[in-house]
Amino acid sequence: MAKYIKYGISATIMFGIVTYGSFKYHQIRSFEEEYYKNSNRKRQFLFNIHQNLAIQYDKSVDSYEDLSKINQYRKILLSYAQGFVLETAIGTSRNLKYYPSGVKVLGIDWSSNMLEAAMQKSVNHISYSYKIDDTENLTFKDNVFDTVVDTFGLEYYVNPDKALKEMKRVCKKDGLILILTCGQSLYQGLNFFLNYKTPYTVCNYGFFPNRNWEQFIKEEDFEILKKERKINGTVYMYVLRNKK
């Protein structure tokens, strides 16, 4: 009898795994089919994911960032920030403590839940505020900010090229654009894995891990003052001077 119960439990577990796997597969296929047809569908799909991730976001990435030295990269990148700073896709404001004293930071995100999490954090060495806004369609006038910062936001945008153009537009001539993002590796074997898991990553976490940022960030658009690639080339760090 115990033997049959054991088999029954195993069969139930296997059925559950197969059912869930089938559900996720069809969810991913449905998203892939719609993704290339309807931009409004893409944006609403990703927006909903970001809203839902906000509460647990910090807990889900804290250990990874500590082990992978991401926090060190944030600190290095933000040491270049100066003057009036716009931080796009600020999320839960993980950069706040790394800004140099004296800057004034305006952080934006399209997710109200992310900004609510950001508002739970505080520092005393800088002036900062938050606003709901969309990096792909910024509501600011041209030439407003001395520095524009985007850390791990580019991989979340539906149209990253449009987001970069908006960053460039609102940044002053000769101002700085500071970017930290993840994307394609230096190794093709790893890129195969990133491409394979991209639908799952998009559907569950709302970002694209396989973009090649060297195709988006070009010398004809920006003066590249610093470019580094970390963690097998999957983390890109840029310090850019804005050309107008």
Strand spans (E) along 155-234: 171-182, 222-230
The domain made up of 38-242 has a fold known as Rossmann fold (3.40.50)
More confident residue, 172 or 36: 172
pLDDT surpassing 90 at residue 204: no
pLDDT at residue number 163: 97
Alpha carbons 40 and 29: distance in angstroms, whole number:
17
- How big is the CA angle at 242 (ends 239 and 244), to the nearest 5 degrees? 165
Summarised one tens digit per residue, pLDDT across range 89-110 is 999 999 999 999 999 999 999 9
Structure tokens at 39: 């931009």
End-to-end C-alpha distance for the chain, whole angstroms = 78
Sheet of 171-182: strands edge to edge? 127-132, 104-109, 84-87, 145-151, 171-182, 235-242, 222-230
Which backbone phi and psi does 53 adopt, to 5 degrees?
A: -80, -20
- The mean pLDDT value for 157-182 works out to 96
CA within 13 Å, CB half, 24? 13
With cut-offs at 50, 70 and 90, classify the pLDDT of residue 199. confident
Q: pLDDT band at 131, cuts 50/70/90?
A: very high
Contact between 139 and 133 under an 8 Å Cβ cutoff? The reply is yes
Q: In the numeric block, which tokens belong to residue 244?
A: 């107008």
9 vs 97: CA distance, rounded Å: 50
- Residue among 91, 156, 103 nearest 128 (CA): 103
- The answer to whether residues 49 and 205 touch, using CB atoms and an 8 Å cutoff, is yes
**What does pLDDT average to over the chain?**
88
Q: What distance in Å separates the CA atoms of residue 67 and residue 146, rounded to the nearest whole number?
A: 32
What does the pLDDT read at residue 203?
84
Which two structure tokens, joined as six digits, stand for 193? 């894995």
Residue 235 phi, psi dihedral angles, 5° rounding = -115, 120
Three-state secondary structure call for residue 176: strand
Q: What span, in angstroms and rounded, lies between the C-alpha atoms of 52 and 33?
A: 23
Which tens digits make up the pLDDT trace of 4-50?
A: 455 556 556 665 555 655 565 565 556 555 555 555 677 888 888 88
Do 170 and 108 form a contact (C-beta atoms < 8 A)? Answer: no
Instruction: Provide the pairing of β-strand 127-132 with 171-182.
Output: unpaired
Separation between Cα atoms, residue 89 and residue 132, nearest integer Å: 10
SS3 content of the chain, % helix, strand, coil (to 5): 50, 20, 30
Helix or strand run (H / E) with residue 66? helix 57-68
The structural domains of the chain, with segments of one domain joined by +, span: 38-242
